[in-house]
Amino acid sequence: MTTPPALFLSGWGFGRGPLEAVLEESHWRCLDLPGCGADASAVLPDHFTAAVEALLARLPPVCALGGWSLGGMLALAAAQAAPERFSQLLLVAATPSFIQREGWTLGRPPEELRAFREKIRQEGAGLLPRFTASFCRGDAAPQTAQWLLQNAAPMSQAALDAGLIWLEEADLRANLSRVTCPVTLIHGENDPLIPAEAARWLAGGLPRARLSLIPEKAHAPFAPDASARARFLREWPRP
């Protein structure tokens, strides 16, 4: 029996670089977000639902799928839309809703995200160092932010803006029961951007979920030193 391919989506703003550096010896292959990076020849989706549709169109009939942060949200949404196509999910630093909504307090204030979008329109990728430093607060390795930026693959201004629109629109709290494949969630215990409690909530709503909280790590639990990567990859499932 052929093992389904294992594909992993990058996060917003960084491209495939950081995860490729970690997964180069694994069976997982990194993918850019829809319309970004190596997929830049495709139409950049304007809305989150269109991004999910574009992702499903790119994927093989059956695969293992994972993602970091926004990539994890897209992976989860794809599995909700077409559960029969996924042998397993791997969600790193993911959440069902990035922003706060009625009945959901574990997200960022909507006005904060809108203000950040405006800053991105003004400064573009020049804002990434400050953003990276903010979500690495609480990480035991002081060089994490620098490592992420050194390994990042540039994203276009349009891709940066589109990704923030997707984050504002995505609300994946409903239909979690449709995801019937095994799901592994890996989350930094000290994540200041997406709190660990959001991952706990998500794990509680998925039928076959396993949550691993990594101590002393923040929003990028895979970076940057060898011991952190080894600890991270111990939780990483084989396809």
Q: What is the mean pLDDT of residues 49-71?
A: 96
Cis peptide before 60 (omega within 30 of 0): no
**Do 65 and 7 touch, CB atoms closer than 8 A?**
yes
Residue 7 has pLDDT above 70, yes or no: yes
User: Which of 10, 69, 97, 212 does the annotation list as catalytic?
Assistant: 69
Residue 149 lies in a domain: yes
Q: Is 187 a catalytic residue?
A: no
pLDDT per residue as tens digits for the range 37-46: 877 667 899 9
pLDDT level of residue 239 (50, 70, 90 thresholds): low
Give CA–CA dist 214/192, Å, rounded.
14
| Number of structural domains found in the chain | 1
Q: Domain range spanning residue 199? A: 6-234
Residue range 81-112, pLDDT digits in tens:
999 999 999 999 999 999 999 999 999 999 99
Q: Looking at the domain assignment, is residue 239 inside a domain?
A: no
Q: Residue 200 maps to which CATH number?
A: 3.40.50.1820
Cβ atoms < 10 Å from Cβ of 102: 6
> In sequence order, what are the residues at sequence separation of 6 or more whose Cβ sits closer than 8 angstroms to the Cβ of residue 123?
none
Q: Which pLDDT tens digit goes with each residue over 139-198? A: 999 999 999 999 998 889 999 999 999 999 999 999 999 999 999 999 999 999 999 999
Instruction: Supply the pLDDT for residue 37.
Output: 82
214 domain-assigned: yes
Cα–chain-centroid distance for residue 169? Answer: 15
User: Is 108 domain-assigned?
Assistant: yes
Active-site choice (97, 187, 191, 212): 191
Q: What is the mean pLDDT of residues 49-58?
A: 96
219 has catalytic annotation: yes
Q: Which of 32, 139, 212, 219 is catalytic?
A: 219
In a domain, residue 1? The reply is no
